[in-house]
Structure 1
Amino acid sequence: MTTALSHAVLKSRALISLSGENWRDFLQGLITQDVDTLAPGQARFGALLTPQGRLLFDLFVVGREDGAWLDVQAQSREALILRLTMYRLRAKVTIAADEAPVAALFGEGRAPQDWIADPRLPALGWRGYGAAAPADALEVDETAYDVHRLALGVPGPADWGSEKTYPIEANFDLLHGIDFQKGCFVGQETTSRMKRRGQIKNRMLPLTFDGAPPAFDAEVLTGDRRAGEVLSGQDGRAMALVRLDRIDGELTADGKAVRVDRPAWLPL
């Protein structure tokens, strides 16, 4: 049966291998996601935060028989290895770069058995680590995958940067990126307080407009009041960090009309 799946090698992503008898305990106390119950062949989305609770590194933890992979931004891999090594102390865990390629498979159809479901949203498809694509999958570049992700209203690393955004503002809580039941992790106090109080003023939401995207960091305005700022985007669609109490009126950015397009998975 012919599939309508697209296959993209994600050159912006890279792997870190964790192994050793203490790898679970080591990682459990650091990141936003639970790994105690992670099974081989399963992936979970999460992050390592600053002690003040801001996003430092996004990651997917991928269970393996003898440890785990961390699927991370390629440009940040060495910095994350250094950070993890700093936290390691006496833990019996081996941390090393792994050169297996990272890829995404998305669209209509069923992925082969060795592909792993993206834990954020089913519509994002699957992630593969050295896995072969179906023979009839359409080969596309990473830009096509980013178009697909943005169409679903899911922000990416270009939107949250490093040490400037709280994970809840980047919708990690709604994309299964934070386990609020797992106990302590770096930055947990601030993250839990934001969720517990339920007073989330800002979130990343997609904007639609005609033509080229407004400039990165361009102000989103409602009249003459600031409603947010534009983040990454492409023709017709961009991500923005917006104030939830100022998105119902007529909005502009860089002098053009823009509209918030709230995805169905994101309740307000």
Structure 2
Amino acid sequence: MSKQLFGYFKKLTSWSKHHHQRIHSSTKKNLRCLEQLENRSLLQVKGTDVSNFLQGLITNDMRHFDDVAVGNIYAIFLNTKGRVLFDTIIYKIPEDNCYLIECDKSLIDQLRRHLMIYKLRKKVDISFVDEIKIWSMFDVNFKLDTTNDLVKTSLTKQLYSLNENHVDKSDDVVIYKDPRIHDLCHRILTKSSIKKHDIIKKLDPVISIDNNDTSSSYKEFRYKLGIGEGADDLPPGKPLPLEANCDYLHGISFHKGCYIGQELTARTHHTGIVRKRLMPLTFDQVPQVELNYDDNIVDDNDKSIGKLRGHVGQHGLGLMRIIESVNAKTIKLANLLVNTKKPYWWPLESRTEKINLANK
């Protein structure tokens, strides 16, 4: 198994030139943070039936991989009631009929059991992958300002297109674009022996890595963007995929065939009524009191308009009532002032907002 996995990286060196992309856009130095995601792990799923097998289990469409420019996709596994079990990134690798599935490390055993339940007699082999590390590389200087707010988009013209999802590669380091939104930058897969300085050597000279320990963590960076990930933010069996913004993050296909949990997801999408979504929270100061998952968030009338999902420093994530949150004069959590707004990467106008406003 170990030798076979190490061989993936050698194969990626000669993989289709359609995947290759330099990861810079100008001659200016780009300061990035490089962090190993120790809370994420991988499963290998392979076999002649693997594509059809996954097609019936995930919210996204495996046929995206028919495009040689697509290296990975964001996908959700739902339960039969249409609630999120596992948020994943599925990676295409050079070996035929073989994919790597990234998932929260604490849920990787449950994901394997989930896959085994539906495997039945399909020609699919499912195994753990311990020999590969997962890294995130993101923009240290990213700021939520008016410039970012101007790059809003519509559902028909997404900010980040699947056909832009190229991959850069070497013998032992594989760099993918994050398939969700552009500002999440890159996911990097490496052999377990690879260290941070080894990755830096592989990067383009215009990329500069910040080694300051006080820089933003990946989790805090996600919270700034308003993006949930893993068991802490998306506890298995609780969130609905549209409330977790999986549709806005390119994780749901509304044009594919049936999959587990599809009925409620499709019905909610087509009615256009999604009153609550994950939204970023910004505290006026770093909280000095303990805050817990599901803590109540209230408006100026002490009416509940949301629930806390997590926080790091001055940034947090909440499941918020959209219209009430946007219209609230002040928002408080445990008597702390909190600010929130619709993330810039949401569609410019959604049917949800129009319907809710019309019904007010």
Structure 1 length-normalised TM: 0.92
Match of 2:218 among 145, 155, 161: 145
Kindly indicate which of the two structures has a greater share of residues assigned to helix.
Answer: 2
Matches within 5 A, 1:146-185: 146-157=219-230, 158-185=232-259
Gaps of 5+ in 2: 1-26, 141-166, 192-197, 202-207, 348-352, 354-360
Indicate the SS of the match to 1:57: strand
Q: 1:45 to 1:19 in 2, by over 3 A?
A: same
2:334 is the counterpart of 1:254:
yes
Q: Is the 8 A contact 1:210 1:235 kept in 2?
A: no
2:134 is the counterpart of 1:57:
no
2:123 is the counterpart of 1:92:
yes
- Deviation, structure 1 residue 176: 0.5
Match of 1:105 in 2: 137
- Deviation, structure 1 residue 212: 3.0
| Aligned residue identity for 1:102 | I
- Deviation, structure 1 residue 209: 1.6
Kindly indicate which of the two structures has a greater share of residues assigned to strand.
Answer: 1
Q: 1:56 to 1:143 in 2, by over 3 A?
A: farther
2:317 is the counterpart of 1:239:
yes
Q: Is the 8 A contact 1:42 1:116 kept in 2?
A: yes
Q: Deviations over 1:80-111 (max 9, x none)?
A: 11110111001101100011111112228xx8
Root-mean-square deviation over aligned CA pairs: 2.2
- Deviation, structure 1 residue 245: 2.9
Greater shift after overlay, 118-127 or 248-257?
248-257
Q: 1:143 to 1:20 in 2, by over 3 A?
A: farther
Q: 1:186 to 1:143 in 2, by over 3 A?
A: farther
Supply the distance in 1 between the matched residues of 2:71 and 2:168 (Cα, whole angstroms).
14
- Deviation, structure 1 residue 149: 1.6
Q: Is the 8 A contact 1:8 1:140 kept in 2?
A: no
Matches within 5 A, 1:19-34: 19-34=46-61
Supply the distance in 1 between the matched residues of 2:179 and 2:333 (Cα, whole angstroms).
33
| Aligned residue identity for 2:177 | A
Match of 1:117 in 2: 177
Percent identity between matched residues is 28
* Runs of 4+ displaced beyond 6 Å: 140-143
Greater shift after overlay, 99-108 or 115-124?
99-108
Q: Is the 8 A contact 1:8 1:139 kept in 2?
A: no
Q: Is the 8 A contact 2:224 2:281 kept in 1?
A: no
- Deviation, structure 1 residue 169: 0.2
Match of 2:291 in 1: 215
Q: Is the 8 A contact 2:277 2:320 kept in 1?
A: yes
| Aligned residue identity for 2:306 | G
Supply the distance in 2 between the matched residues of 1:224 and 1:144 (Cα, whole angstroms).
32
- Deviation, structure 1 residue 112: 4.5
| Aligned residue identity for 1:18 | V
Please identify the structure whose Cα radius of gyration is greater.
Answer: 2
Match of 1:197 among 244, 249, 271: 271
Gaps of 5+ in 1: none
Greater shift after overlay, 53-62 or 146-155?
146-155
Q: 1:185 to 1:139 in 2, by over 3 A?
A: farther
Match of 1:81 in 2: 112
Q: Is the 8 A contact 1:25 1:36 kept in 2?
A: no
2:32 is the counterpart of 1:5:
yes
Indicate the SS of the match to 1:130: strand
| Aligned residue identity for 1:185 | Y
Q: Deviations over 1:122-169 (max 9, x none)?
A: 111111111652235335789711122222222222222111110100
Indicate the SS of the match to 1:62: strand
Q: 1:3 to 1:253 in 2, by over 3 A?
A: closer
Q: Is the 8 A contact 1:112 1:134 kept in 2?
A: no
Greater shift after overlay, 36-45 or 124-133?
36-45
- Deviation, structure 1 residue 262: 2.1
Q: 1:161 to 1:143 in 2, by over 3 A?
A: farther
